[in-house]
C-alpha cells in the first residue's frame, strides 16, 4: 500500500510540474510544486512585520494590486519569517530565502532584508505570470545564489548617462537579482566624478572637442563639442543610496595608471611629458599615462580619499589595464625609479605603482580590484583580479590565493554583436549571442575545489564607444542580462537552452510593458556554415517555427511565397543567400543576407598551429575556409583574431588540385592595436609533411595591397597548402598600445 501511495504521489507531482511552467529568471535552485493554489485577492493584505523599504518597493512594482497592512488579528496574504536560530548558524549567504505559496497565503523566510528582497523579485515575477488567471500554483521555493558577485558594468566616459538613467540601469539589475554595479567613471575620453580638491578634473576633463562616429576604420568625427558631463558628489550619494535600497553594491572605477588623458588634460604635470593634453576624441589606447612620481601618488591618494567617502563598497576598482609603457621607457624619472627599487623593467614599475595604491587603499580599510593586467610584474598582496582578456588572469589569481571576478570578453562583453552584424546596430566587434552568454561557466576547469572558492563570481561589461543613448544601452543588455543573471545564480544549464529561451520570450512581455528597448535578435534568422560533400552548406535556424523561414539564392529579398527552408542550402558556387522569418504571410524578422565567394579551399579540412583569441574565435579554424569574406567594418563572426601570434594554417584539399593564386585579407586598425601582417609565405606539399615554399611577400607588399592580398603563384598542383601570415609582433613606439603585442586579424583563405 505504501509503494502505491508513493508511486501515486510521484505521478501527481510530475503532473503538477508538467502543467506548470514557471517563467522565472533566474530559475530558483529548488522548486517543489504542491497541491492547491493561491487566489490573488482584490485587497492584498500585508503582514505588519514585513521590512518596510523592501515592501514599499514591492508595492510600486505591483501597482495593479491594492495593498493594505493587516492588523495582527487578521490573516495576512504575505507573511515574513526569519530563519530559526539553528538555521542561521548553517547559513552561508545572507541572500538565501524560502518562498512558500499555499491556498492560505504566501510566506517568505530569510535571514536578512537582502534575502527578503530577492524573494520579492521571485514573487513579482510570479504575480506578473499569473496576473491574468488570478491564481498562483502552490509551491515551495528554496533558493540562494551560487556566486557572491553578480555584476554589471557601465561605461559613462565614452558616452554619458543621466542620474535617472543610471537609476533605471540599477533597477534592471535588481529585477534579475544582480547585486553589483561597476561604475566606470574615468577614462581617456572623460572624467565623470566631481573631486572637490581638484575642480579642473570636471571643469576641463569632463568634456572633449568632438567624438568619433561610425566604424573605427572610417576615422570620422562629428565635429560637436561633448560635455561638460559629470556627476556631482551629491548625485553620486543619491545613486549609491538608491542602489543600497535595492541591495546593490556600487563599485567605482578610477582608472590608473593608463586611460588617463582626461585627467592629464586638467593636470598635465602628472604626466611624463609636458603636454599639452586633451580628452581623447577617438576610441582606443593612448601612450600618455600617469607618471609614477610623488605628486602623482599624492593626487591619486587625495582623489581616492573623496571616492572612498562616497562609496561604502569593500572594493575600489583601480583599472590597471592597457597601460602602454612608451612614456615610461623614455622618462628619466621612471628609469631612475626602476633602478632605485631594483625593478626588472617597466612591467615591474606597473606592479610598483599598483602596490603603492593598494597599500594606501588598504590603510583606509578597503581593497582594490583591477583588470587582469595588474598581474604584470607581480600581483599586489591583497588585490582581486577582474579577468577580461580571457580566463587566464582569473585562473592565475585563484591559484595564488587571490579572489577573482570572471568577465571574459568572449562571453561577457555586451558591446559585442548579439546577432547577425548585418542586421544589428554598429557595435565594437566580436560576436556574443544570448546562447553563448548562457553557456558560460565562471569556474575555470583548471581549478580544483579549493581554488574554485576564490572565484567571487561573474560580471558583464558594457563599454559605450558605439552606444549613443540610453535606448541603445537597453538594447545591448537585454536579453543578454537574463542569461548573465542565471549564470551568476548558478542554475543555468546550456543543455536546456531552448527552455531558457522560452522563458526569455515571456519576459519580453515585461520589458514591453516597461517600454524597454531590447534586441529581438533571437527572432531573426541565424545562419551557420557547415562542411558538406561538395564544399559547404548554409544552415538556417530560428527560435520560432522553422517552417516560417523563407529564403532566396538569387540575391533577391525573400517573400512569403519564396522557398521554405527545409534542409541546409548547398553552396557550390559564389552566391548571395537572403532569408527571413514569416508568420501567416507577414514578415516578422529582419532580412538576413550572406554573400559567399567559393574557391578550391572552401569547406576543406584546415588546421591551425596557433589558436585564435577567445574573443575572436567564432567558428574556429573553419571560419577561414567557409566561403565568407570578412567585413572590414564589423569584427564579428567572420574574422579570427590572434594577439602576438602568427597564423599558420594548413589546408588539406583532399586530392592533388591545380591552382594559380592564393588570397586572404588582413586588417589595419591601430587604435585597437590591430596591425597588418608583416609577411606571408605560401608552401605546398603532397604528403602534408614535406613542404616547398612557392611564394613569399613582405610588409611593403602587404601595405601596398592595403591588406587585401591576392598572390599569383604560377601553375601549381598539390594536396596541401600551408600559409604562414606573420604577426606584426610588438607594437612600435608612436602607436597606440606601444610595447604590447599586436593583433592580427585574418578572414578567408582562398585558392583559385
pLDDT at 590: 87
Is it true that domain 605-751 has CATH number 3.40.50.300?
Answer: no
Question: In percent, how much of the chain has pLDDT > 90?
Answer: 80
As a whole number, mean pLDDT of residues 447-470 equals 97
Residue appearing with cell numbers 531552448: 498
Beta strands in 467-609 (DSSP E): 526-532, 535-541, 549-552, 563-564, 569-571, 575-583, 586-587, 592-596, 605-608
Give the three cell numbers for residue 88.
542561521
Q: Lowest mean pLDDT: which of 2-11, 585-594, 714-723? A: 2-11
What's the confidence (pLDDT) of residue 636? 63
- pLDDT-derived band at 16 (thresholds 50, 70, 90) equals very low
**What is Dmax (Cα atoms) for the chain?**
96
pLDDT band at 509 (very low <50, low <70, confident <90, very high): very high
pLDDT over 70 (residue 536): yes
pLDDT for residue 12? 43
pTM for this model (two decimals): 0.90
Query: 191 CB contacts (<8 Å, ≥6 apart)?
Result: 157, 185, 201, 202, 205, 206, 230, 262, 263, 266, 279
The CATH code of the domain at 24-51+59-131 is 3.30.379.10
pLDDT at position 215 is 81
Residue 562 above 90 pLDDT? yes
Task: Tell me the three state secondary structure of residue 413.
Answer: strand
The domains of the chain are located at 24-51+59-131, 161-518, 525-589, 605-751
pLDDT tier at 37 (50, 70, 90 boundaries)?
very high
* Torsion angle (degrees, nearest 10) of CA 137, 491, 516, 117: 70
74 is catalytic: no
Which of 107, 371, 149 has the alpha carbon at shortest distance from 259?
371
pLDDT of residue 72: 76
- The one catalytic residue among 47, 54, 77, 187: 187
Give the confidence band of 615 by pLDDT, cuts at 50, 70, 90. confident
3-state SS string for 3-64? HHHHHHHHHHHHHHHHHCCCCCCCCCCEEEEEEEEEECCCEEEECCCCCHHHHHHHHHHCCC
Asked whether residue 89 carries a pLDDT value surpassing 80, the answer given is no
CA–CA gap between residue 22 and residue 31 (Å, rounded): 10
Q: With contact defined as beta carbons under 8 Å apart, do 709 and 680 qualify?
A: yes
Residue 91 has pLDDT above 80, yes or no: no
pLDDT at 73: 77
Task: State pLDDT tens for residues 669-728.
Answer: 887 789 999 999 999 999 999 999 999 999 999 999 998 999 999 999 999 999 999 999
From the candidates 47, 188, 253, 322, give the one annotated as an active-site residue: 322
Each residue's pLDDT tens digit, 488-506: 999 999 999 999 999 999 9
Give the model's pLDDT for residue 4: 40
Tell which wins on pLDDT, 12 or 729. 729
What's the pLDDT band for 15 if we cut at 50, 70, 90? Answer: very low
Q: What percent of the chain has pLDDT over 70?
A: 96
**How far apart (Å, rounded) are the C-alpha atoms in residues 291 and 13?**
67
- Split at pLDDT 50, 70, 90, the class of 11 is very low
When the pLDDT of each residue in the chain is averaged and rounded to a whole number, the result is 92
Question: pLDDT for 58-77, tens place per residue?
Answer: 999 999 899 998 887 789 99
Alpha carbons 550 and 537: distance in angstroms, whole number: 16
Is residue 374 pLDDT above 60, yes or no?
A: yes
Annotated catalytic, 346?
Answer: no
pLDDT at residue 31 greater than cutoff 70: yes
Q: Which entry of 153, 159, 184, 259 is annotated as an active-site residue?
A: 259
**Is there a contact between 471 and 161 (Cβ–Cβ < 8 Å)?**
no
The pLDDT-based confidence of 523 (bands split at 50, 70, 90) is: confident
Confidence of residue 167 (pLDDT cuts 50, 70, 90): very high
The burial of 291, by beta-carbon neighbours within 10 Å (0-12 exposed, 13-18 middle, 19 or more buried), is given as: buried
CATH superfamily of 161-518: Glycosidases (3.20.20.80)
Give me the pLDDT at residue 670, please: 83
Mean pLDDT confidence for 612-629: 90
Q: Could you tell me the pLDDT band of residue 401, with boundaries at 50, 70 and 90?
A: very high
Confidence of residue 87 (pLDDT cuts 50, 70, 90): low
pLDDT at 10 over 50: no
Provide the pLDDT for residue 218. Answer: 81
- pLDDT, average across residues 223-246: 98
Note the pLDDT of residue 3. 40
pLDDT confidence bin for 86, thresholds 50/70/90: low
322 in catalytic set: yes
Amino acid at each position: 500500500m505504501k509503494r502505491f501511495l508513493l508511486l501515486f504521489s510521484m505521478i501527481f507531482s510530475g503532473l503538477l510540474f508538467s502543467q506548470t511552467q514557471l517563467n522565472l529568471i533566474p530559475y530558483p535552485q529548488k522548486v517543489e510544486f504542491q497541491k492547491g493554489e493561491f487566489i490573488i485577492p482584490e485587497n492584498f493584505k500585508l503582514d505588519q512585520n514585513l521590512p518596510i523599504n523592501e515592501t514599499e518597493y514591492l508595492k510600486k512594482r505591483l501597482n495593479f494590486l491594492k495593498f493594505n497592512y493587516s492588523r495582527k488579528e487578521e490573516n495576512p496574504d504575505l507573511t515574513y519569517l526569519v530563519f530559526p536560530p539553528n538555521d542561521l548558524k548553517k547559513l552561508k549567504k545572507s541572500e538565501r530565502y524560502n518562498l512558500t505559496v499555499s491556498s492560505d497565503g504566501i510566506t517568505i523566510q530569510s535571514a536578512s532584508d537582502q534575502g527578503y528582497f530577492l524573494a520579492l523579485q521571485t514573487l513579482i515575477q510570479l504575480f506578473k505570470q499569473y496576473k491574468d488567471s488570478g491564481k498562483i500554483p502552490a509551491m515551495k521555493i528554496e533558493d540562494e545564489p551560487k556566486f557572491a558577485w553578480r555584476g554589471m558594468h557601465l561605461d559613462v566616459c565614452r558616452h554619458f548617462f543621466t542620474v535617472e538613467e543610471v537609476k533605471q540601469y540599477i533597477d534592471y539589475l535588481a529585477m534579475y537579482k544582480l547585486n553589483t554595479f561597476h561604475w566606470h567613471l574615468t577614462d581617456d575620453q572623460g572624467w565623470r566624478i566631481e573631486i572637490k580638491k581638484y575642480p579642473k578634473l570636471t571643469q576641463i576633463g569632463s568634456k572633449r572637442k568632438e567624438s568619433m562616429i561610425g566604424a573605427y576604420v572610417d576615422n570620422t568625427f562629428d565635429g560637436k563639442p561633448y560635455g561638460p558631463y559629470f556627476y556631482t558628489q551629491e548625485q553620486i550619494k543619491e545613486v549609491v543610496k538608491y542602489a543600497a535600497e535595492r541591495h546593490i553594491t556600487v563599485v567605482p572605477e578610477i582608472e590608473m595608471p593608463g586611460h588617463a588623458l582626461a585627467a592629464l588634460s586638467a593636470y598635465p604635470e602628472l604626466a611624463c611629458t609636458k603636454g599639452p593634453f586633451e580628452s581623447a576624441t577617438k576610441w582606443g589606447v593612448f601612450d600618455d599615462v600617469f607618471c609614477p612620481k610623488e605628486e602623482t601618488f599624492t593626487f591619486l591618494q587625495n582623489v581616492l580619499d573623496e571616492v572612498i567617502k562616497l562609496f561604502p563598497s569593500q572594493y575600489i576598482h583601480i583599472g590597471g589595464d592597457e597601460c602602454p609603457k612608451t612614456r615610461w621607457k623614455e622618462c628619466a624619472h621612471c628609469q631612475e625609479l626602476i633602478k632605485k627599487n631594483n625593478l626588472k623593467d617597466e612591467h615591474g614599475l606597473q606592479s610598483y605603482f599598483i602596490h603603492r595604491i593598494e597599500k594606501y587603499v588598504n590603510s583606509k580599510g578597503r581593497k582594490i580590484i583591477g583588470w587582469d593586467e595588474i598581474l604584470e610584474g607581480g600581483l599586489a598582496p591583497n588585490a582581486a583580479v577582474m579577468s577580461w582578456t580571457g580566463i587566464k588572469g582569473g585562473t592565475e589569481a585563484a591559484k595564488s590565493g587571490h579572489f577573482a571576478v570572471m568577465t571574459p570578453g568572449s562571453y561577457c562583453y555586451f558591446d559585442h554583436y548579439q546577432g547577425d552584424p548585418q542586421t544589428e546596430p554598429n557595435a565594437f566587434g566580436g560576436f556574443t549571442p544570448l546562447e553563448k552568454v548562457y553557456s558560460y561557466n565562471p569556474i575555470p576547469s583548471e581549478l580544483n575545489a579549493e581554488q574554485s572558492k576564490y572565484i567571487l563570481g561573474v560580471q558583464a561589461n558594457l563599454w559605450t564607444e558605439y552606444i549613443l543613448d540610453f535606448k541603445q544601452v537597453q538594447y545591448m543588455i537585454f536579453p543578454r542580462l537574463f542569461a548573465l543573471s542565471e549564470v551568476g545564480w548558478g542554475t543555468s544549464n546550456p543543455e536546456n537552452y531552448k527552455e531558457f529561451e522560452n522563458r526569455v520570450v515571456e519576459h519580453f512581455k515585461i520589458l514591453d510593458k516597461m517600454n524597454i528597448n531590447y534586441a529581438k535578435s533571437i527572432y531573426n534568422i541565424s545562419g551557420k556554415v557547415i562542411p558538406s560533400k561538395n564544399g559547404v552548406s548554409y544552415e538556417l535556424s530560428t527560435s520560432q517555427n522553422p517552417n516560417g523561414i523563407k529564403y532566396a539564392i538569387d540575391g533577391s529579398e525573400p517573400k512569403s511565397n519564396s522557398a521554405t527552408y527545409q534542409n541546409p542550402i548547398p553552396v557550390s558556387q559564389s552566391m548571395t543567400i537572403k532569408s527571413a522569418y514569416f508568420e501567416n504571410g507577414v514578415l516578422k524578422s529582419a532580412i538576413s543576407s550572406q554573400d559567399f565567394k567559393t574557391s578550391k579551399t572552401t569547406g576543406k579540412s584546415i588546421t591551425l598551429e596557433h589558436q585564435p583569441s577567445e574573443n575572436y574565435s567564432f567558428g574556429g579554424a573553419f571560419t577561414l575556409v567557409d566561403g565568407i569574406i570578412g567585413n572590414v567594418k564589423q569584427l564579428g563572426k567572420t574574422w579570427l583574431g590572434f594577439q602576438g601570434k602568427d597564423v599558420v594554417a594548413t589546408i588539406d584539399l583532399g586530392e592533388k588540385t591545380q591552382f594559380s593564386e592564393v588570397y586572404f585579407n588582413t586588417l589595419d586598425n591601430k587604435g585597437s592595436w590591430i596591425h597588418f601582417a608583416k609577411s606571408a609565405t605560401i608552401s605546398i606539399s603532397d604528403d602534408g609533411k614535406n613542404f616547398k615554399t612557392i611564394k613569399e611577400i613582405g610588409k611593403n607588399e602587404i601595405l601596398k595591397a592595403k591588406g587585401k592580398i591576392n598572390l599569383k603563384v604560377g601553375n601549381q598542383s598539390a594536396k596541401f597548402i600551408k600559409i604562414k601570415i606573420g604577426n606584426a609582433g610588438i607594437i612600435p613606439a608612436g602607436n597606440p598600445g606601444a610595447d604590447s603585442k599586436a593583433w592580427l586579424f585574418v578572414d578567408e583563405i582562398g585558392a583559385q
